[in-house]
């Protein structure tokens, strides 16, 4: 991938897509193609084919997806399955038809078995039952991960690259309480508790589940690294994380300190915890010589600063 290569970022307004735009531009990549959902509905096959036919595209970062937290996934599992399958199938089909050089598809740590051995290795995929609360989204992502592998096999290419980052966070995250992930939801809830001078804040679950987090711009840098080293990759998905996880209770304490909230945190254990731990073994990818650079608390501060500047708009995302 060269500085003037034609690069399409699908889902450029989201957490990872916006980080990719920023990092690519900062590194001198100038030929970047973006379309909003209103301009291009990626679930519409005819519209997607017309887009590919009318534009020169060499590389694709497929960040577009319907994503959400426990509530969204629990309430709308069929929607999460359908929308993501449609996006993936349309982009994959056109990538083969129009001979895209490389495309990165992003899997999810929720595709691994709920009771998986920790840390989670790539080969644990499909070795057990997945978490029921994310079954629609996870099934679609599994289909995409397998799709990368079988497309490379059938079309005798290394066109499809699959990266599985653990829980991402950073500027442009979704802070809508129904559709956000745990970190951004906690930032909003704790900031609101501070604004309202609440003496206590009750959160879902036990606080005991552990999660690994990686800053969105680190994932963007890793993605560009993969594109530039596509010829060295095996036909397999690659995990990407920091190697360190935190309990939700620990995360809450760190965020409370950054936000400046001194109230008491209570836990409603009648609500679901989800998978108890999701720590990825990223050794296969890190062996290529790339490592994340953002310290967790520094990344959290940057995320909170962005949230404060964009609080009204970021809380209205659906």
Q: Provide the annotated active-site residues.
A: 137
CA distances from 301 to 6, 131, 208, 294, 308 (A): 34, 30, 23, 11, 11
Could you tell me which residues come within 8 angstroms of residue 95 by beta carbon, excluding any fewer than 6 positions away? 60, 103, 159, 160
Distance between first and last Cα of the chain: 34
Q: Are strands 102-106 and 210-215 parallel, antiparallel or unpaired?
A: unpaired
**Residue 203 and residue 69 in contact, taking contact as beta carbons nearer than 8 Å:** no
C-beta of residue 73 within 8 angstroms of C-beta of residue 80: yes
Q: CA-CA distances (angstroms) from residue 255 to 129, 179, 191, 200?
A: 32, 19, 9, 15
Residue 122 is classified by DSSP as: G
Which of 307, 298, 286, 299 has its CA nearest to residue 215?
299
Nearest to 69 by CA among 168, 146, 216, 1: 168
């Amino acid at each position: 991938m060269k500085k003037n290569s034609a690069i399409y970022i699908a889902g450029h307004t989201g957490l990872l897509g916006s980080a990719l735009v920023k990092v690519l531009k900062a590194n001198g990549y100038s030929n970047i193609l973006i379309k909003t959902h209103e301009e291009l509905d990626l679930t519409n096959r005819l519209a997607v084919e017309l887009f590919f036919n009318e534009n020169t595209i060499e590389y694709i970062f497929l960040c577009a997806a319907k994503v959400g937290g426990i509530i969204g996934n629990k309430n709308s599992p069929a929607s999460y399955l359908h929308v993501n399958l449609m996006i993936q199938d349309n982009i994959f089909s056109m990538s083969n038809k129009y001979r895209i050089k490389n495309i990165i598809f992003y899997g999810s740590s929720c595709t691994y078995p709920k009771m998986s051995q920790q840390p989670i290795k790539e080969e644990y995929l499909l070795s057990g039952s997945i978490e029921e609360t994310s079954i629609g989204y996870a099934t679609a992502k599994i289909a995409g991960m397998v799709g990368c592998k079988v497309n490379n096999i059938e079309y005798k290419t290394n066109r499809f690259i699959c990266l599985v980052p653990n829980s991402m966070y950073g500027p442009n995250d979704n802070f809508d309480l129904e559709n956000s992930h745990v970190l951004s939801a906690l930032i909003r809830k704790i900031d609101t508790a501070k604004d309202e001078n609440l003496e206590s804040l009750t959160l879902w679950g036990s606080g005991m589940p552990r999660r690994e987090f990686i800053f969105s711009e680190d994932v963007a840098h890793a993605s560009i690294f993969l594109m530039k080293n596509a010829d060295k990759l095996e036909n397999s998905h690659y995990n990407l994380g920091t190697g360190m996880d935190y309990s939700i209770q620990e995360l809450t304490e760190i965020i409370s300190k950054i936000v400046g909230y001194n109230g008491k945190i209570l836990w409603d254990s009648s609500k679901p915890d989800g998978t108890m731990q999701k720590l990825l073994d990223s050794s296969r990818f890190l062996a290529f010589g790339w490592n994340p650079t953002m310290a967790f608390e520094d990344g959290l501060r940057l995320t909170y600063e962005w949230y404060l500047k964009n609080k009204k708009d970021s809380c209205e995302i659906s």
